[in-house]
Amino acid sequence: MDLVHRMSRRLPQLLADIEELVVCESPSSDFAALARSTDVVADLGKRHLGAAPERIATTDGRTHLRWRLGAGPARVLLLGHHDTVWPLGSLTTHPYAVTAGVLRGPGCVDMKAGLVLALHALAELGVPEGVTLLITCDEELGSPTSRELVETSAAGCAAALVLEAAAAGGALKTERKGVSRYRVRTHGRAAHAGLEPERGVNATVELAHQILALTALADVSRGTTVTPTLASSGTSENTVPAVAEVAVDVRVRDTAEQDRVDAAMHGLRPVLPGSRVEVLGGPNRPPLDASSSAALFARATAVAARLGLPAPGSAAVGGGSDGNFTAGIGTPTLDGLGAVGGGAHADDEHVLVDELPARAALIAGLIADVLAGEPS
């Protein structure tokens, strides 16, 4: 029986395992919920891999999970996360359900189904030596406590395979933009808005000047976006604001652009006399360039052909993942190997059930292919 058919026989258990993870909510900033989810993931992994994970505690109370299979050095890193953007209680409005071949539930495609696919792929391969499975719990926050762990786990590997959801149509993600995050804070001087506004220095007006300046740093021709997002200012309706702040999201295709924008952001200067500008933050994730994924994408295409599966498409996407980190240290990286579906972070988040066995087979076939060192 070929690999795709063997994975098809696993479909009922695949669905049961995905349900087990989805119904255990795991918002990134809820430590108690994350702890419960960590235990569920660890138990599920132990059932499939025959061993408990290494638990890597962080100084802020999180715990990341790592399985290192075999005694030798790792050649393949499987990379995922179980934290989600969904707040606790989302199951009441977005319950787990499978209807007409579509699986729904908070975090199902981003990326709990991907974790289950990886576990079944490894189990089907007989828990192969030379593989590390790393599952973190702060990716949705930008991986503040797990970045170093991701990079050290990827160092020296022949491949980092990222279990984030597939792109549209099941395409693999062969490029990701780099991400920078900033907070621009303007400082002025408070005054009564009705009695003597002239004595104040309006931080909101200064922030408006800065927003216009920073948005001008975008370069559509180079794929660079600079987007003001969450903003706040002032303390009351009748007070000239003394402080104002805006978060800024930057996405770039190459490190030269990331450096250019970073220098310009930190070079912002005040416009209003008496005001001050403070810029916090900087690059968060380096770009995942097409050159980092080209050889692995070719290998995945060859594996799909051998399995009788359609050739996977490729996609360049704006969102970041931990694959940006692995590519950034020079490890060949292929992303988007997780579930086929859509609606990540949105009300219509979903997984296409019929695609699960083929996806699990592709992951398993690609792992075996890299471990064997076969040419693509």
Last residue of a domain, one of 285, 306, 322: 285
pLDDT of residue 1: 64
Residues 190 and 51 in one domain: no
Whether pLDDT at 376 is above 70: no
Name the catalytic one among 17, 139, 335, 349: 139
The per-residue DSSP string of 8-42 comes to HHTHHHHHHHHHHHHTS--BTT-HHHHHHHHHHHH
Question: Which residues span the domain enclosing 226?
Answer: 178-285
Residues 362 and 250 in one domain: no
Compute the average pLDDT of residues 85-89.
Answer: 97
Residues 184 and 249 in one domain: yes
Residues 319 and 278 in one domain: no
Q: What is the CATH number of the domain that holds 229?
A: 3.30.70.360
Vertex 108 angle, CA 102 and 114, to 5° = 105
Compute the average pLDDT of residues 267-283.
Answer: 98
Residues 134 and 74 in one domain: yes
Alpha helices (H) in 50-185, listed in sequence order: 113-124, 147-154
Q: What is the CATH number of the domain that holds 91?
A: 3.40.630.10
Residues 85 and 229 in one domain: no
Residues 68 and 135 in one domain: yes
Compute the average pLDDT of residues 96-106.
Answer: 98
pLDDT above 70 coverage of the chain, percent? 99
Compute the average pLDDT of residues 62-87.
Answer: 96
pLDDT of residue 101: 97
Residues 92 and 194 in one domain: no
Q: For this structure, is 83 an active site residue?
A: yes
Residues 321 and 265 in one domain: no
Compute the average pLDDT of residues 339-354.
Answer: 97
Last residue of a domain, one of 262, 285, 308: 285
Q: For this structure, is 349 an active site residue?
A: no
Residues 77 and 55 in one domain: yes
Residues 84 and 15 in one domain: yes
Tens digits of residue pLDDT in 141-196: 999 999 999 999 999 999 999 999 999 999 999 999 999 999 999 999 999 999 99
What total of structural domains would you count in the chain? 2
Whole-prediction pTM value? 0.91
84 CB contacts (<8 Å, ≥6 apart)?
25, 26, 27, 28, 106, 107, 110, 112, 140
pLDDT of residue 72: 87
Vertex 35 angle, CA 34 and 36, to 5° = 90
Name the catalytic one among 83, 138, 262, 349: 83
87 CB contacts (<8 Å, ≥6 apart)?
27, 30
Residues 49 and 154 in one domain: yes
Residue 285: φ, ψ to 5°: -135, 130
Q: What's the CA gap between 148 and 146, in Å, rounded?
A: 6
Last residue of a domain, one of 248, 269, 285: 285
